[in-house]
Amino acid sequence: MKFFYNKYDNPDKRVDTIELVISKDPIYVELEKRDGFNKVGKIYTLKDIAVCAQNFTELYKDYDFDNPIESKFKEKIYLQPDERHIKREGRKNAGIKYAAHFVTASDDKKKKRHYDTSKIANMGIIKEALERSSDRRKTENKQGELRVYLL
């Protein structure tokens, strides 16, 4: 993400670039007014996603494989796309979609991603939560993947 952040030195330029990239990917959609669980007072656009993804890159631009966020239990979090996404998308687009993932939620029925207000509200506390954690729990899912939850 540092690569993308440094390439575009102006926040407005980063927002425009993010919006352009996600507008070409049909997985990203506007969140329309709906009844039920996703009822919202306004329609959230791709520009809203782009603005928040830019904010995410600004907050976490310095944390990558060389400089991870670390908990007191020595768990590390690396905020950058993995190599297969970089190979598939290119470094710039992979970084953009990585940031967009942090501010969107998926709709499993439609296989789409849309703006997620709950993720936006909690975007800034990732580092704080890691640093303030006082306990942790390890679980293994059905595929044998180990997950560590900091509490």
pLDDT tens track for 69-127: 888 888 888 888 889 999 999 988 999 999 999 999 998 787 899 999 888 888 888 88
The domain ranges of the chain are 2-150
pLDDT in tens, 28-60: 999 876 666 666 667 899 999 999 999 999 999
Residues 52-85 as b/e (b if ≥16 CB within 10 A, e otherwise) read bbbbbbebbbebeeeeebebeeeeeeebbbeeeb
pTM value is 0.82
Predicted local distance difference test score (pLDDT) of residue 23: 97
Predicted local distance difference test score (pLDDT) of residue 33: 66
Nearest CA among 136, 104, 83, 134 for reference residue 22? 104
Please give the average per-residue pLDDT across 136-149, as a whole number. 82
8 Å CB contact between 89 and 79: no
8 Å CB contact between 33 and 43: yes
